[in-house]
Amino acid sequence: MTDSTPQGILVQLYRAALDAADPRKVIPPHLPALPKGRTVVVGVGKAAAAMAQAVEQHWQGAISGVVVVPVGATLALQHIKVLTGSHPVPDDSSAAGADALLQAVTGLTPDDLVIALVSGGGSALCAKPAAGLTLKEKQGITRALLLSGASISEINTVRRHLSAIKGGRLAAAAYPAQVVSLLISDIPGDEPALIASGPTLPDSSRCEDALAILQRYQVSVSATVRSALSGGQWESVKPGDSRLFHHRHVVVASAWDGMQAAAARASELGLASHILSDAMEGEARDLAKAHAAIALSVAQRQVPFQAPCVLISGGEATVTVRGAGRGGRNTEFVLAMAMALKGHRGSERIHALSAGTDGLDGRAAAAGAWMNAQTLDQAVAQGMSPLTSLDNNDSATLLGACNALVHTGPTYTNINDFRAVLIL
């Protein structure tokens, strides 16, 4: 029986977005023709195991390879080995995964084919530090960037230039074999080279860009890192590199696909839907205020849209971590939005959900959360302070106490964050 409550409607829209990015559906139509020689599958990211499973189920010839996924996102495969790596900060398992991927594509011929399955999360899962860089320092730089409020695009620009596998280097290692990259995008704007830091695609950014980002967010680095970046010693593979000729790539699923599927589901439920953007970035609490302002305008003035309707957006928020609480960017968005709506006329008609499409949201131990006009009242009744929770980045603790967390477990896909605001 379909749940027609506001919460049930929001969850249905979220599930529709996930279904649109199901690797079992989006991979098979884009599989290449059989090669004369070997077929090797390499993959990395939160969706890589499910993508590899889809390849195995539809491939007509012999196949081998390896994929690297987060702990908890493994699946049983017959011919392709599954390894686990660390996320969001790389560790020794991430380095081992990178070595396995590079080994898998070594020694191939022009008759061989590499199918690269790339999805979000891959930047940390396979991490081979550039020559002269230690894994420990790379871990420290990654942690600092994650806490700084830097965007995912900025973080991945740095990662591409601290790596011996990202920024097209995995594809270069596969030369002279042909590489076909099938990508599930979690990047605002769906720039292919940014997904998992682009291990199989050329990179147009430069070492100096990575250094500028580190300086912008005041991330301390060693003299070795500063010298290598300022001197261009760790430059990535650039467009036009002959080792990448005849390669091709396809973005098989993205946030835009998910949002369109959610809009279609809203229409089936008799609701008008409005997609705001698939590339909304910025601090989670600032994005929450913007969404709250639009929702209140709809509720109070029927501008810019008429209620009842659903506002849908995607893109990855950031959180500048100042406290020690339990939360993630989606739970922080939900708490901040509830606070922005509190006390305003029409807020009782507004319901919202924000969740990661990978089923994980930072340290929240959930995919995200939902809210309505009673959420903060429930928290206060339990002696909790919404402002204190927000200041301590402890949104998940508060929302969990209100039974407002969204739990999915691993979704085996990743098309960034999904947000839906229902105005009745």
Q: pLDDT digit string (tens) for 273-284? A: 999 999 998 999
Residue 355, strand partner residues: 368, 418
pLDDT for 149 equals 83
Per-residue pLDDT tens for 139-161?
Answer: 999 999 988 888 888 998 999 99
Torsion of CA 41, 44, 49, 50, to 10 degrees: -90
Q: Where are the domains of the chain?
A: 6-16+256-423, 23-253
Q: Structure pTM?
A: 0.91
Residues in the chain: 424
What's the token pair of residue 203?
């990179």
Nearest to 367 by CA among 291, 295, 419: 419
Judged against a pLDDT cut of 80, whether residue 34 lies above it is answered with yes
pLDDT for 3 equals 83
Q: How many helices (H) and strands (E) does the chain have?
A: 16, 14
One fold for 6-16+256-423 and 23-253? no
Q: Which residues, in sequence order, are CB contacts of 373 under 8 Å at separation 6+? A: 341, 347, 348, 350
pLDDT class of 78 with cuts at 50, 70, 90: very high
Output DSSP code: residue 34.
P
pLDDT for 223 equals 94
Nearest to 105 by CA among 176, 34, 184: 176
Nearest to 101 by CA among 39, 31, 45, 44: 44
> What is the rounded distance in angstroms from the CA atom of residue 324 to the CA atom of residue 297?
34
Per-residue pLDDT tens for 81-109?
Answer: 999 999 888 899 999 999 999 999 999 99
pLDDT for 365 equals 85
6-16+256-423: CATH number: 3.40.1480.10
Output DSSP code: residue 365.
S
Output DSSP code: residue 120.
T
Superfamily name with CATH number, domain 23-253: Glycerate kinase, MOFRL-like N-terminal domain (3.40.50.10180)
Proportion of the chain above pLDDT 70, given as a percent: 100
Judged against a pLDDT cut of 70, whether residue 1 lies above it is answered with no
Residues 331-350 as b or e (16 or more Cβ within 10 Å = b): bbbbbbbbbbbeebebbebb
Judged against a pLDDT cut of 70, whether residue 24 lies above it is answered with yes
